[in-house]
Structure 1
């Protein structure tokens, strides 16, 4: 996936716009948050194939099961995973949460993930895997 020339500005604007957007299955969950960030940086929507397929946790679990979980979705969109130490700003990372694995966006030394009440910021050392955008 090719990033647009002004992707750093687009990513910063995306994060700011989504800062207080609450979690919602099929709209503002971890996978679609990351797909929306990629779309902001590249202009291409890697989440198009999953949009509208679910609107509940049960539906999301079906989509995740059918696509190899959150890591499987990242691999379908971006190719093979790499160690998190290789992640750069704008790349996708895998993290553990109290509710299971989730995808997030690397911001440098921090990462941004969709939380229940908006974006949650964590240290990059929490990442378990990474995918280059």
Structure 2
């Protein structure tokens, strides 16, 4: 995957458009949020093979279990993780969420993550690992 020339604008527009989109398993959960951000920046959907396969917690847990959890699933698509300190704008990061590990998008000094009622923003220091996009 390669970022499009205007990826910064595309990422900003994506974040703006998703501000108030509520959490929905299989549609706007942490993995699909990150996949949608990557698609906005690259034009390639990294989650195409999983879309429409789950819409419940049980289905999500099965998908994660079968692919090595959140880290395994992300690594399957983007390669091995790197230290969180090396994450740059537009990269994927791993954070701790109340439900367990979750994926988010680095915006520079902040991280954007799918929350219950829309995007939540955290300091970049909340990242535990990262993947280059």
Compute the TM-score of the two structures, normalised by the length of structure 1: 0.99
Match of 2:54 in 1: 54
Deviates more, 1:87-96 or 1:65-74: 65-74
Could you list the structure 1 runs, at least 4 aligned residues long, displaced by more than 4 angstroms after superposition: none
Give the C-alpha shift of residue 24 in structure 1: 0.3
Structure 1 vs Structure 2 CA RMSD: 0.4
- SS class of match (1:121): strand
Asked if residue 124 in structure 1 is aligned to residue 132 in structure 2, the reply is: no
| CA displacement, residues 41-97 of structure 1 (integer Å, 9 cap, x when unaligned) | 000000101101100001000000001111111101100100000000000000001
CA distance in 2, matches of 1:70, 1:31: 8
Matches within 5 A, 1:71-86: 71-86=71-86
Paired residue for 2:112? 112
What are structure 1's unaligned runs of at least 5 residues?
A: none
The normalised TM-score by structure 2 is: 0.99
Aligned match of 1:98 = 98
In 1: Cα distance, 2:117 partner to 2:71 partner = 23
- Name 1:27's counterpart in structure 2: 27
Q: Secondary structure at the match of 1:34?
A: helix
Look up the SS of the partner of 1:40 in the other structure: helix
